[in-house]
Structure 1
Amino acid sequence: MNVIDPTLPQAVGQIDRRGRLLDAESRLLELNQRAGGQIGAPLAIPAIAALARLAQRLGISISRNVVAADVDDDIELWVRAEPDQGGVRLEVSGWRPRPAWRAPVGEQDRESDFFRAAADWLWETDAALRITYLSLEAGTRYGFDTSAMLGQPLTRLFRLEQDESGNLPILTAVAAQAHFDGQQAELRGTGRMVRLEATPRSDPAGRFAGFVGGAHMLGTAPAAQPDEFVEPVSDTPFGTFPDSFTQRLGRALRGPLGKIIANADSISAQTEGPLKPDYAEYAADIANAGRHLLGLVEDLVDLQAIEREDFSTLAEPIDLADVARRASGLLAVRASQSEVRIDKPALDELMPATGEFRRALQVLVNLIGNAVRYSPPGGMVWIRLEREGGRAHVIVADQGKGIAVEDQARIFEKFGRVDPTEPGGSGLGLYIARRLARSMGGDLSVDSAPGMGARFVFSLPARD
């Protein structure tokens, strides 16, 4: 690679809405050609192409430091991607060469890696504190739509709280372009509290360019005692492990599995360029296997929790219609991929009840997810609301093959599956869902017959 003067002006390029390079100044054009691309073809520099796609999807300008491969070496670039005239305008500056093997890891990078590894989930913003990234599992686990939050102000997701001095640590950090910790906030719409921590990004001119952060959930589990090594043993094969160990194991596995799924999905979708068909199929298989393992991890962590003698749920005022709409939104992409339509409650429908929002959402995600899985292409999943006396009901019905009467008790048993050879989950989902429903003073039942689909009824105490 020829040495490039980093003081040279930025190189400008334009790509269309399909990611094809329409025009570029010489330095960007030559870099793209060395990567195997050409005018009229998809941009061949993966890091820049990915940033352009993100900017186009969110509809906002995004600036970020990226590293591009160039023959035997790498180039550090500062790229600004701005949606423009149906495509994306690129402004590329920096152009700092470096040997490919020298990945710079400074104190800030090590600090960022440390707190991100310890966080429950991750987030990133641009310089205007608009959300540009959220962990895949965060929305499903804590009850918000991650895709809807991308591009939104950080305060749309978090209600920030002042510290003891009356300040907001995050705003102090913006002014100082510094790391912050201890910013407490409420996760809007859930009542859950979090502690936010982040390190800043800077552009080549030293200007603030956003935060790379982690969220730590507060008040979700009692702290372990220093001398506590052994938990009571339950009747499950996993009861011999301390509860704190299971939680740490779940946290350690979620992050890597989430990355495997995201990267495999990206390869399968051929977002970085065309692949041999069998390679794309391999990537899809990897993503599906990763989702299966991630679901199993979540089920095992929940199983350990609900079988503790001291397990309990919160008695919160919730709207089951709203919970059902949120669960449907979280499963909209899966339903679309399966060619199944979800008929969810209308926006003006209400069903006041008492229960724990997060656990009610977990139950409905399980029920609707199962209904989508077992519905045929072109099928429909109906979600209906009913009130009967002091009970509020959510009914989830599908057009699947149905469940025989003699099998209906088995599906609620631990590891219970009607057909173990059929694709599906771990056999824990409905067992956990019913335990959660009953812990909130409600219940979960099924009404079905072979060839007639299945009708699950989730009930909670009604609220006036």
Structure 2
Amino acid sequence: MAVQEPILARAASDGADRLVHAEEPLAGLQRNCGGDLPGLIAVPELLELVRKARLYRLRLARSISAQDGGEAITAWVEVDPRGEDEDGCDIVLRSWQSAPIAPDDTRLAIDRRAALDREVSELSARLDAEQRILFVTSDSPDLQELARAMSAGLGRPFTDFLAPESHGARALHWRLLDGAPVRVSGSKRDWRIVLLPQAKPGHDPVGFELLLVSDEPPPAEEPEGEISLVPGSQGLVGHDLAPVLRQPIARIVANAETIRSRLAGPLPDAYANYAAEIANAGRLLLGLVEDLGDLEVVESAGFATAPDHIDLGEVARQAAGILGVRAREKGISVAAPVAALRAVAEFRRVLQVLINLIGNAIRYSPEGSRVEVRLERHGGQACVIVSDEGPGLAEADQAIVFEKFERLGRSGDGGSGLGLYISRRLARAMGGDLRVESEPGQGARFILEVPADGAADPQ
């Protein structure tokens, strides 16, 4: 006959699942998880077990997990509901094991924080190594005046337009500017600067990604006139719903990611997984909103891009950097080009297309594989080629992959079937094209073509 483990501690709960009595170490765990004694059970898995035992009048026993400061706790708990005339349960602790929690990889933690800031940023800009503005984009009504001023001041230091409150507009090392609070003319919210350096480990930054983030939600705006949901109505998602939905959804994603990555404090694995599901669902919804907004833009009458002289190598490296966290989580390496290739196209739109192509390559490639981004020039066309080691596409699928809402029979991956359609429309609007070369089982090569710049590429 099996020998039963000795009782290490006893506790009791009432009909409202409040812990009314507890011996150590349960009492200490209750307090360290933010609860009181007496008070509602603060250990999530214990609360779930006690609640089920009380509701179904069943004696339940199982292993529970919790986090106590820097330690992971595993305990065997038995919960026995009292007689019909009494509410609550008797709780018995029979085993208790603790182990130090391994700290997250520092690089991974930094990448997660950067991803959170990107989710909720309301203005983003690209800076050179001297913190001078290369381009700016923002959809926030609060920041339109600032975005216009910064766009008109390309080549000037960003601190000419965003002077940190504690330092003024003088030149500072980027680490002193990262996280600095700023005030924005025309906005009642408080803002902070986020500077993400673009550099290889051990090297000085060759540029920066600038984000402007507020911890306060944007003010609610009443839409002008009545929003019509008549099919085929123009401007609904892009002009009315997208700006209203984007920030709340982004904040849901950011808060869920904060919980998942335990940046807000210790959490059992089961609840971290719930938060991950919330974050993923939010990203899918946010992606759909963005795709529908872009669809309206590219299909609107008179749509045109704003061509400029750009370096496709620089755009490709930035796109690969933005998707670096996603690739590492799947064990996929992304090889970005180191050379330069001059082209005439809109930086923001090329970046949008490449993020879509590299993101698709990561999504549909096997773990441990490689995605390669390389540059080629063919006569008057400059090309960016994104190659993966995924399942590839049959010839019939290649003919329809760029069609609207086409997902090639896939389900469950959350894609809208609009990304490649929009990307090809953007490529053609810039005087180029987007095509695919593939064979089943041999991966795929998506080729973005835009007009080459007549000037010689830097060596």
Alignment TM class, shorter chain as reference: 0.5 to 0.7
Matched, 1:377 2:367: yes
- Equivalent residue number for residue 156 of structure 1: 131
Structure 2 distance, partners of 1:180, 1:313, is 22
The within-5 A match list for 1:51-70 is none
Q: Is the 8 A contact 2:227 2:240 kept in 1?
A: no
CA deviations 1:331-374 (Å, max 9, x no partner) are 0111111110001001xx11111111100110000000000111
Amino acid at match of 2:69: A
Structure 1 distance, partners of 2:420, 2:430, is 15
Matched, 1:246 2:238: yes
Measure how far apart 1:425 and its partner are.
1.2
- Equivalent residue number for residue 9 of structure 1: none
Structure 1 residues 238 and 189: alpha-carbon distance in aligned structure 2, compared to 1, 3 A threshold: farther
Matched, 1:320 2:312: yes
- Equivalent residue number for residue 274 of structure 2: 282
Measure how far apart 1:329 and its partner are.
0.7
The within-5 A match list for 1:328-343 is 328-343=320-335
Match of 2:397 among 400, 407, 422: 407
Measure how far apart 1:188 and its partner are.
8.6
Give the TM-score normalised by the residue count of structure 2.
0.56
CA deviations 1:179-208 (Å, max 9, x no partner) are 9996532499799x999799979xxxxxxx
Matched, 1:213 2:203: no
Q: Unpaired runs of 5+ in structure 2?
A: 1-30, 37-67, 72-105, 136-141, 167-179, 183-189, 193-211, 214-222, 455-459
- Equivalent residue number for residue 293 of structure 1: 285
Give the TM-score normalised by the residue count of structure 1.
0.55
- Equivalent residue number for residue 439 of structure 2: 449
Matched, 1:302 2:285: no
Structure 2 distance, partners of 1:355, 1:451, is 33
CA deviations 1:91-116 (Å, max 9, x no partner) are xxxxxxxxxxxxxxxxxxxxxxxxxx
How many equivalent residue pairs? 296
Measure how far apart 1:229 and its partner are.
8.9
Structure 1 distance, partners of 2:328, 2:33, is 38
SS of the aligned residue for 1:185 comes to helix
Structure 2 distance, partners of 1:187, 1:372, is 36
Structure 1 residues 229 and 436: alpha-carbon distance in aligned structure 2, compared to 1, 3 A threshold: farther
Amino acid at match of 2:307: A
Structure 1 residues 344 and 181: alpha-carbon distance in aligned structure 2, compared to 1, 3 A threshold: closer
SS of the aligned residue for 2:303 comes to coil
Match of 1:41 among 69, 72, 75: 69
Structure 1 residues 194 and 293: alpha-carbon distance in aligned structure 2, compared to 1, 3 A threshold: farther
Matched, 1:460 2:435: no
SS of the aligned residue for 2:450 comes to strand
Measure how far apart 1:291 and its partner are.
0.6
Amino acid at match of 1:266: T
CA deviations 1:189-246 (Å, max 9, x no partner) are 799x999799979xxxxxxx83323979xxxxxxxxx999999x9xxx9631435x63
Radius of gyration: which is bigger?
2
- Equivalent residue number for residue 5 of structure 1: none
SS of the aligned residue for 2:344 comes to strand
Matched, 1:185 2:114: no
SS of the aligned residue for 1:393 comes to strand
Structure 2 distance, partners of 1:276, 1:355, is 48
Matched, 1:259 2:256: no
CA deviations 1:429-452 (Å, max 9, x no partner) are 000000000000000000111111
SS of the aligned residue for 2:317 comes to helix
SS of the aligned residue for 2:131 comes to helix
Match of 1:355 among 335, 341, 345: 345
CA deviations 1:73-126 (Å, max 9, x no partner) are xxxxxxxxxxxxxxxxxxxxxxxxxxxxxxxxxxxxxxxxxxxxxxxxxxxxxx
Q: Unpaired runs of 5+ in structure 1?
A: 1-31, 44-53, 59-130, 161-178, 202-208, 217-225
Structure 1 distance, partners of 2:416, 2:396, is 20
The within-5 A match list for 1:138-157 is 138=121, 144=126, 156=131
Amino acid at match of 1:239: G
CA deviations 1:397-450 (Å, max 9, x no partner) are 000011111011221000001123251410000000000000000000001111
The within-5 A match list for 1:366-445 is 366-445=356-435
SS of the aligned residue for 2:375 comes to strand
Structure 2 distance, partners of 1:363, 1:256, is 25
Structure 2 distance, partners of 1:407, 1:194, is 49
Structure 1 residues 388 and 188: alpha-carbon distance in aligned structure 2, compared to 1, 3 A threshold: farther
Match of 2:119 among 118, 127, 136: 136
